[in-house]
Amino acid sequence: MTYRSETSSIPAIVLADGQIMPKLGFGVYKVAGDEAVSTIVTALELGYRSIDTAAFYGNEDAVGRAVRESGLPRDEVFVTTKLWNADHGYDAALRAFDASLQRLGLDRIDLFLIHWPVPSADLYVDTFRALQALKRQGRVVSIGVSNFDREHLERVIDETGETPAINQIELHPYFAQSELRAFHAAHGIVTEAWSPLGRGAEFNDSVIIALADKLNRTPAQVILRWHMQLGNVAIPKSMTPARMAENLAVFDFELTGREMTQIAGIDKGARQGGDPAEFAMDAPTA
Ligand code: NAD
């Protein structure tokens, strides 16, 4: 199955709520300034049909402009944004959503995520209830979370009765998250990988290089293919058109079971970003 588009053919995944999402999207963290709109338009011209932004990235306006400037029908582009840590709590989350929608200049968002659980504020369950309300109103199609550990997911599921459609987490070969992925699979939660390329950390790994040489692919393509075969959604970021195209060209080759196992063997449990149990930048203090 591919994403609904006349002009692109990216394989798609079905979320538990029935919405169809491209398996590969374009991440726009630090895609900023004057170049932001043209970079995102280029991504859409190259065939990307999913854009991952966040209130925190400061570029929701550029994403909205790029979607409009691309000339693509709105329903051919899947737009994700995220609620920032300062906006946890039911009412604050509703207000933050309105502000995101306004900056994007869109009338609905395809996927809205809670960016971090911020356990110290202990407001993520109420925040998720606000996302449920937005979904009921039809202003967001799918709702999910990001950087949630198993215990945070369990509380949301137990206390709201709804399972997030997606958990977007740090995931690359050196941080393969096999336990959390298994929990997701058991609960019908799609795993979305952020920093899917480990920000380049694995490009010099001998196992990745050997596979890239053998398959006549780049290290980035081998890693993204690994994500695809694990069933992950991945959202690599690049500002370079040739690399943006390279990262999309991962649907015409396959890794064998043995090659997948070889990549599994380089997992070091090495996180690059924040630890969800502690990360609380800009958290509400009251
Ligand atoms: P990434 O793993 O996508 O790596 C990006 C870097 O790798 C780029 O800066 C580029 O220099 C390099 N690169 C990309 N393609 C390449 C190629 N083909 N060859 C050589 N180098 C290449 O890391 P990221 O940007 O941190 O993550 C991607 C997206 O994930 C972000 O843009 C954002 O949308 C999302 N994200 C989410 C969170 C979260 O907390 N939810 C955190 C970080 C990132």
Amino acid at 13: I
Tell me whether residue 152 is in a domain.
yes
Quick one: pLDDT at residue 227? 98
Number of domain units in the chain: 1
Quick one: pLDDT at residue 286? 57
What is the dihedral angle through the alpha carbons of 196, 199, 203, 205, rounded to the nearest 10 degrees?
Answer: -90
Average pLDDT for 63-83:
97
Tell me whether residue 114 is in a domain.
yes
The per-residue DSSP string of 205-261 comes to -HHHHHHHHHHT--HHHHHHHHHHHHT-EE----S-HHHHHHHH--SS----HHHHH
Residue 68, domain extent: 12-199+227-253
Average pLDDT for 86-99:
98
Q: Phi then psi for 255, rounded to 5 degrees?
A: -90, 140
Tell me whether residue 103 is in a domain.
yes
**Percentage of residues in the chain having pLDDT higher than 90:** 94
Q: Give the CA distances from residue 125 to residues 57, 86, 102, 128, 158, in Å, rounded to whole numbers and listed in that order.
A: 23, 15, 25, 5, 10
CATH of the domain at 75: 3.20.20.100
200 CB within 6 A, ligand 1: yes
Residue range 50-63, pLDDT digits in tens = 999 999 999 999 99
Tell me whether residue 272 is in a domain.
no
Residue in 3, 29, 48, 57 annotated catalytic: 57
Q: How confident is the model at residue 34 (pLDDT cuts 50, 70, 90)?
A: confident
Q: Phi then psi for 39, rounded to 5 degrees?
A: -65, -45
Question: Which atom number of ligand 1 is nearest to the Cα of residue 236?
Answer: 3
Quick one: pLDDT at residue 3? 84
Tell me whether residue 258 is in a domain.
no
**Percentage of residues in the chain having pLDDT higher than 70:** 100
Protein residue closest via CA to atom 14 of ligand 1: 238
Tell me whether residue 191 is in a domain.
yes
Q: How confident is the model at residue 4 (pLDDT cuts 50, 70, 90)?
A: confident
Query: What token pair was written down for 17?
Result: 């709520």
Tell me whether residue 220 is in a domain.
no
Whole-number Å distance, alpha carbon 28 to ligand 1 midpoint, is: 8
CA 286 to chain CA centroid, Å, is: 30
Tell me whether residue 215 is in a domain.
no
β-pairing, 12-14 vs 20-22, is antiparallel
Q: How confident is the model at residue 239 (pLDDT cuts 50, 70, 90)?
A: very high
Quick one: pLDDT at residue 7? 81
Distance CA 223, CA 200 (A): 10
Catalytic residue list contains 174? no
Q: What is the DSSP letter of 3?
A: -
Mean of per-residue pLDDT scores for the chain: 97
**pLDDT over 60 at 108, yes or no:** yes
Residue range 179-218, pLDDT digits in tens = 999 999 999 999 999 999 999 999 999 999 999 999 999 9
Residue range 121-157, pLDDT digits in tens = 999 999 999 999 999 999 999 999 999 999 999 999 9
Protein residue closest via CA to atom 36 of ligand 1: 194
Distance CA 43, CA 270 (A): 30
Whole-number Å distance, alpha carbon 204 to ligand 1 midpoint, is: 16
